[in-house]
Amino acid sequence: MSAESNRPPTDDLTSPDVSGNSTTVGETATGAQPLRKSIFREYAEAIVVAMLLAFAIRVFVVQAFKIPSGSMIPTLLIGDHILVSKLSYGIQWPSNCKLQMAIPPVNCYASKALIEFGKPQRGDIIVFRFPEDEEKDFIKRIVGTPGDTVQLLHKKVLVNGAPLDDKVFTQRIDPGIIDGTINPRDNFGPVTVPEDAYFVMGDNRDQSLDSRFWGFVREEKIRGKAFRIYWSWSGQGKWTEWVRWDRFGQAIQ
The residues assigned a catalytic role are 71, 140
Q: What Rg, from alpha-carbon coordinates, does the chain have?
A: 29
